[in-house]
């Protein structure tokens, strides 16, 4: 009844007295068929092609001259008639215009149509029967000439001044009548463009999902999981919606198809609400609104359960409207959050504005709320909206990742600072006490030389350990992570240990010499090698002059220490603990160290660590 009323309204509004004939033109390869449709509603579903092509029903067709024909939901079978006329003129040999020798392809622009059957005349002039070509979601794809969802059938026109084709359409979703007539070459071009668009679309979705999975494992925050699941379920929904699953696996029952598609959309809605709560911090800033979002999280699955129970097609429209309401609520929340000063709210608002507009366009077009044409842009409106939203939110989530990493670094710095404080206050203090008590005990009368020697060793060991702990504490402390801090500490160490020497301390890049070597462990090894080298110079070299130079050469950090002492050759060195430690530390830092006699006398130590 509703379809009949809609047909009547269309008829009154268009005031078309006769069906517009499609006149083929020479050289033209693509025709949109909406302005040329004649429509008849078969409420019984029992009318066959012989009856529909007869004179009895011919006068009952309603004619259109619209850019799109949307009949909404209907259980009726809809018959479509298209009258095609050849252009004037023809070939002298066959008396038939070249366009009639072409093979034409009829494509359906609505990806949700369940059943489409094309009827065209047998091109044999002696046989006036109709040939049938089945398409749509309920059709067996293995029997289709071209295994693509939008392909309805291909045919050649009969050798008449006019030809008529009929299309039988049935679908549980909104009945949108939108067809194209194309040559084989043009159809191949249009299919290639469509495949390229969807390849880019789903490729971007996959990249965003992989990237945010990596980010999740880096910081373990739920917002990345919610984003991943939202994009994944919405992407799968679009994959189903555009018929790619049917193209891959062939026949899919109508119930399974729609229930699967709406299940995916429901999960997308749930994870969108969870993402919104996490993104706008509603639990912290808007507790009452957060409770509303919790309720909405449960509402979408409830709608899905009702759809499973009653299996009514209009639940799909309810879910679409429900999704739109979700986005509108998100827009309002984002506006309030932006006014409250939540930094990311403005980006969230930008993302939601795009997806909301495209959903309004898509829902309005499918349900005939607004007079939008049914074309590439409206068919793919949601795809454009989700792509826009996914990219904007990906940038915002990436910004959040930087914030999480900064927070994580602060936590690490706090722990490092606490460890440094504990080492300095507890361990360092206790070792200092041990050293002091050992020296006091050495002054007691009546102690044997053996006991005094042992106490002396304890005092020396404790004092050396205190000095080592001070170095460890210095490196653990996060306030000393800058290149300039290590450079200053090395200069202070050289000043303290080489005060009796004529020494020079220089750097090719000043205090920024360690900027390209951020690894704290490598810096610590460099410092300890530096300290051990100066210790050996003061104890064993007999030198009067020392030169220390830090530089970057050939993508390597270099530390060169030379003196004018007695010197030695690397191959003839007796390996003591100090030199062993130096070599071990150079290896742990991923570098090499060379110790040898310097030209002109003395020793040269060269440490190289790749940057």
Q: How far apart are CA 329 and CA 348, in angstroms?
A: 12
Residue 520 has pLDDT above 50, yes or no: yes
State the average pLDDT over residues 484-499.
Answer: 84
| Cut 0.85: pTM above it | no
User: Of 13-27, 356-370, 379-393, 409-423, which gets the smallest average pLDDT?
Assistant: 409-423
Q: Which residue has the higher pLDDT, 301 or 183?
A: 183
Give the angle 140-366-110 at the CA atoms, nearest 5°. Answer: 30
Q: How far apart are CA 40 and CA 55, in angstroms?
A: 13
Residue-wise pLDDT for 217-242, tens only, equals: 877 888 889 989 999 999 998 888 88
Residue-wise pLDDT for 78-121, tens only, equals: 999 999 887 765 544 444 556 666 788 999 988 888 889 999 88
Range among 12-16, 145-149, 320-324 rated most confident: 145-149
How high is the pLDDT of residue 5? 43
Residue 15 has pLDDT above 60, yes or no: no
How high is the pLDDT of residue 107? 92
On average, the pLDDT of the chain sits at 79
Q: Decide if 159 contacts 125 (C-beta within 8 A).
A: yes
Q: How far apart are CA 103 and CA 154, in angstroms?
A: 7
State the average pLDDT over residues 244-248.
Answer: 77
How high is the pLDDT of residue 92? 41
Residue 17 has pLDDT above 90, yes or no: no
Residue 407 has pLDDT above 80, yes or no: no
- DSSP sequence for 313-362: THHHHHHHHHHHHHHHHHHHHHHHHHHHT-TTHHHHHHHHHHHHHHHHHH
Residue-wise pLDDT for 420-467, tens only, equals: 565 555 565 666 667 666 767 766 666 677 776 777 777 777 666 767
State the average pLDDT over residues 310-331.
Answer: 73
What is the DSSP pairing of strand 38-42 with strand 62-63?
A: antiparallel
Residues 6 or more apart in contact with residue 173 via CB below 8 angstroms: 73, 112, 113, 114, 258, 313, 316, 366
How high is the pLDDT of residue 480? 67
Q: Decide if 354 contacts 388 (C-beta within 8 A).
A: yes
Range among 48-62, 128-142, 571-585 rated most confident: 48-62
User: Of 174-183, 247-256, 336-345, 371-380, which gets the smallest average pLDDT?
Assistant: 247-256
Residue-wise pLDDT for 144-186, tens only, equals: 788 888 888 888 877 677 788 999 998 877 788 889 999 988 9
Q: Which H or E run contains 79?
A: strand 77-85
How sure is the predictor about 9, in pLDDT bands with cuts at 50, 70 and 90? very low
How high is the pLDDT of residue 421? 60
Q: How far apart are CA 258 and CA 593, in angstroms?
A: 70
How sure is the predictor about 187, in pLDDT bands with cuts at 50, 70 and 90? very high
Residues 6 or more apart in contact with residue 412 via CB below 8 angstroms: 478
What is the DSSP pairing of strand 545-553 with strand 556-563?
A: antiparallel
- Which one, of 519, 514, 531, lies nearest residue 471 by Cα? 531
How high is the pLDDT of residue 145? 81
């Amino acid at each position: 009844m509703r379809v009949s009323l809609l047909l009547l309204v269309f008829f009154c509004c268009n005031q078309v007295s006769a069906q517009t004939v499609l006149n083929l033109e020479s050289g033209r390869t693509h025709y949109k068929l909406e302005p040329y449709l004649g429509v008849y509603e078969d409420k019984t579903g029992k009318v066959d092609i012989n009856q529909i092509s007869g004179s009895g029903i011919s006068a009952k067709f309603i004619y259109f001259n619209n850019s799109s024909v949307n009949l909404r939901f209907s259980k009726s079978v809809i018959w479509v008639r298209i009258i095609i006329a050849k252009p004037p003129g023809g070939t002298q040999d066959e008396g038939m215009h070249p366009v009639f020798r072409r093979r034409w392809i009829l494509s359906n622009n609505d990806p949700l149509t369940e059943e489409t059957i094309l009827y065209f005349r047998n091109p044999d002039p002696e046989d006036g029967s109709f040939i049938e070509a089945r398409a749509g979601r309920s059709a067996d794809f293995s029997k289709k000439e071209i295994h693509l969802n939008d392909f309805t059938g291909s045919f050649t026109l009969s050798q008449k001044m006019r030809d008529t084709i009929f299309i039988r359409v049935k679908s549980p979703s909104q009945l949108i009548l939108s067809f194209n007539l194309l040559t084989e070459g043009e159809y191949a071009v249009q299919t290639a463009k469509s495949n390229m668009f969807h390849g880019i679309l789903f490729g971007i979705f996959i990249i965003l999902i992989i990237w945010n999975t990596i980010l999740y494992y880096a910081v373990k925050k739920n917002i990345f999981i919610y984003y991943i699941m939202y994009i994944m379920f919405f992407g799968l929904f679009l994959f189903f919606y555009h018929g790619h699953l049917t193209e891959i696996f062939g026949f899919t029952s109508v119930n399974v198809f729609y229930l699967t598609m709406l299940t995916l959309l429901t999960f997308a809605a749930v994870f969108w609400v969870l993402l919104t709560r996490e993104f706008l911090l509603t639990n912290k800033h808007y507790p009452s609104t957060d409770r509303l979002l919790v309720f909405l999280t449960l509402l979408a699955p409830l709608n899905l359960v009702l759809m499973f129970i009653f299996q009514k097609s209009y639940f799909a429209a309810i879910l679409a409207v429900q999704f739109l309401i979700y986005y509108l609520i998100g827009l309002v929340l984002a506006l309030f959050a932006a006014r409250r000063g939540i930094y990311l709210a403005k980006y969230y608002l930008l993302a939601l504005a795009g997806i909301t507009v495209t959903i309004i366009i898509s829902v309005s077009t499918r349900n005939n709320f607004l007079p939008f044409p049914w074309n590439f842009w409206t068919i793919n409106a949601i795809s454009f909206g989700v792509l826009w939203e996914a990219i904007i939110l990906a940038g915002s989530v990436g910004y959040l990742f930087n914030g999480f990493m900064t927070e994580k670094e602060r936590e690490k710095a706090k722990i490092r600072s606490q460890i440094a404080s504990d080492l300095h206050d507890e361990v360092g203090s206790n070792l200092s006490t041990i050293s002091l008590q050992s020296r006091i005990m050495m002054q007691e009368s009546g102690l044997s030389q053996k006991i005094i020697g042992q106490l002396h060793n304890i005092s020396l060991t404790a004092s050396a350990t205190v000095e080592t702990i001070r170095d460890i504490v210095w490196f653990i402390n996060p306030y000393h992570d800058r290149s300039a801090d290590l450079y200053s500490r090395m200069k202070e160490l050289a000043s303290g240990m080489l005060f009796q020497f004529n020494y020079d301390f220089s750097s090719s890049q000043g205090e920024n010499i360690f900027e390209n070597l951020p690894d704290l462990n490598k810096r610590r090894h460099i410092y300890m090698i530096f300290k051990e080298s100066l210790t050996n110079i003061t104890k064993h070299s007999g030198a009067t002059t020392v030169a220390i130079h830090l530089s970057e050469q050939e993508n390597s950090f270099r530390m060169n220490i030379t003196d004018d002492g007695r010197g030695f050759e690397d191959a003839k060195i007796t390996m003591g603990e100090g030199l062993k430690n130096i070599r071990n530390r150079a290896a742990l830092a991923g570098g090499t160290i060379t110790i040898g006699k310097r030209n002109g006398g003395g020793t040269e130590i060269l440490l190289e660590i790749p940057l």
